[in-house]
Amino acid sequence: MSIAVVGVCLVLLVLMVSVLKVNPFLAFVVVSLVAGIGLGIPADRLPAVVDAGIGNIMGSLTMVIILGAMLGKLVAESGAARQIADTMVAAFGTRKIQWGLMVTGFVVGIPLFYNIGFVLLVPLLFSVVGRYRLPLLYMGVSMFAALSVTHGFLPPHPSPVALVAMFDANVGMTLIYGMVIAVPTVVLAGPIFGRTLRGVVTGPVRLFVSEEEEDGRARPGVANSFLSATLPVALLVVTTAAPWIFPAVAESRVLAFAGAPSIVMLVSLGVAVWTLGLRQGRTIGAVMEVFVGAIREIAPILLIIAGSGIFKQVMEESGVSGELAAVLGGLAVHPLVLGWLMAAVIRVCIGSATVAGLTAAGVLMPLVAGGGMAGAGVDANLMVLSIGAGSLMFSHINDSGFWMFKEYFGLTIGQTVRSWSLMETIVSVAGLVGVLVLDLVIG
C-alpha cells in the first residue's frame, strides 16, 4: 500500500509540473504533503517534517551552489569566458575547429550554469560558422554536448552537488570520476555524432547578446581567465588526491578544512574578485552587483532542491524508505542501472533534469548507506553520476533547453529531435556505460 501511495504521488508530481505547469517547488510541497498524509504521518507533524526536509538538504549545499553561481556570473561578465572561447578556437585552427569548440564548451561549462553558458557561447559559435562557412549543427553539437555534460555530471553545478549531499558522497571523488566519464561521453556525443548532422540545412539564425559587459574594459588575460574559471576544480582535485599521495596528511584537520567544498568555493570566489574584478578596474560595488544578479538567477534552482528535500524527508519519516529499499534491492537490476532508469523516466515525463535527478534520488536514498549500496557494494559517487546521466535522457518538447536550441539554431521540431534530443540521449546512455565500466574498474 505504501509503495502504491509513492507511485501515485510521483505521477501527481509529473502531472503538476508538465501538464498543469505548476512551479516545481510548489509541486514538491503539495505532493510531499499528500504523500505524508497518505503514508500515515500525523497532520500536526507535517509542518515540522517540511522544515526538517528543507533544512537537512539546504544546510550542506547552499553555500556551494550560491558561491558557484557568483563565480560563474563573474567569469561571464568579466569577459573571461569569451577569452577562453577565443583562445580555444585559435589554438585548434580551422581544420579541427569542432574539437576546439568542444573543449571550449567543456571549460566554460565548468563554472557557468547551462543557460548562461548557452547564451554566452552562441554568438561565438555563429561568428565562427559564418567566418569559415562551416556546418552549423556539426559545430553546435560539438560545443553544447560538452556544456550539457558538465551541467549534469560535474560539481559545482546544482544537481550534482545536491545529489552528493543526499547520498553522502564525496564532492572531490565525484568530480574526479565525473571527469573520467565526461571526456569520452563528450567526444561521442559531440564531434563523432555531429558528423551525421553535416547535411542538415537550418533556417535563419539570430545572434544573441552574451552576458559579457561591453563597458570598454580590456578582457582578462588568457592565463588569468583559465586559472580563475577552473580554480575550484583544481583545488578539489588537489585536496582529494593529497591523502593518497601523502598518507601522512590523511588525518590533517587543515586539509579537511581546506578541502571542504564550501571553503574551496569561497577561496576561489575571493581570488576571482581580485583577478576578474578589482584588478580589471571594477569597484567592489560593481562586483557585488554581479553577485546580486547571480543570486537572482540561482534562486529558482535552490527552491527546486529545497522541495526535493521535503519529499525525501517524508519518505524517511513515514518508514516507506525501508519498504522501497527492500523491494528495489530485490529487483534483478543493477542498482546503478536502476538509478539511471528512474531518473531517465522522470526526465522524459517532466523535462527538468534537476527535478528528475532529485526525485529519483529521494526514492533511491534508502539503498545508499555509509558510502556504498547496501548489500551491493556500489560506490555512492557512482550513484550520483548514474542518476545525473539518467537526468539528461532525451530532452524534448517539455524541456526549455529543447526550445532554446530549436529557436537559436532556426530548426524545425523534427530537426531538433534529430540533433538536440538524440545528442542528449547519447550523453545519457554513454554516461551510464561509463559509470558501469568505472564500477568494474574500482570494484
pLDDT in tens, 11-45: 898 889 878 889 889 998 999 999 999 999 999 99
In a domain, 53, yes or no: no
**Residue 3: its pLDDT value, please?**
78
**Residue 367: its pLDDT value, please?**
65
**Residue 223: its pLDDT value, please?**
94
**Residue 212: its pLDDT value, please?**
45
Domains in the chain: how many in total? Answer: 1
Higher pLDDT, 267 or 210: 267
Least confident range from 248-252, 284-288, 295-299, 300-304: namely 248-252
In a domain, 81, yes or no: yes
**Residue 37: its pLDDT value, please?**
94
Question: What is the mean predicted confidence (pLDDT) over 198-212?
Answer: 59
**Residue 123: its pLDDT value, please?**
67
In a domain, 204, yes or no: yes
Per-residue pLDDT tens for 340-378? Answer: 998 898 888 777 788 888 888 887 876 665 444 444 568
Higher pLDDT, 140 or 216: 140
In a domain, 435, yes or no: yes
In a domain, 390, yes or no: yes
Distance from CA of residue 302 to its chain's centroid? Answer: 13
In a domain, 6, yes or no: no
**Residue 370: its pLDDT value, please?**
42
Residues in the chain: 443
Q: Which residues of 85-94 are buried (b: 16+ CB within 10 A; e: fewer)?
A: bbbbbeebee
Question: What is the mean predicted confidence (pLDDT) over 109-130?
Answer: 76
**Residue 215: its pLDDT value, please?**
54
In a domain, 165, yes or no: yes
368-369 vs 372-373, strand pairing mode: antiparallel
**Residue 175: its pLDDT value, please?**
94
Domain of residue 265 covers: 60-299+318-442
User: Is residue 207 over pLDDT 50?
Assistant: no
Distance separating alpha carbons of residues 160 and 157, to the nearest angstrom: 6
Per-chain mean pLDDT for the chain:
85
Distance separating alpha carbons of residues 305 and 302, to the nearest angstrom: 5
User: Is residue 62 over pLDDT 90?
Assistant: no
Per-residue pLDDT tens for 145-169? Answer: 999 999 899 987 888 999 998 888 9
In a domain, 46, yes or no: no
**Residue 202: its pLDDT value, please?**
79
Question: What is the mean predicted confidence (pLDDT) over 368-392?
Answer: 76
At 78, list the grid cell: 568579466
> CB of 308 within 8 A of CB of 28?
yes
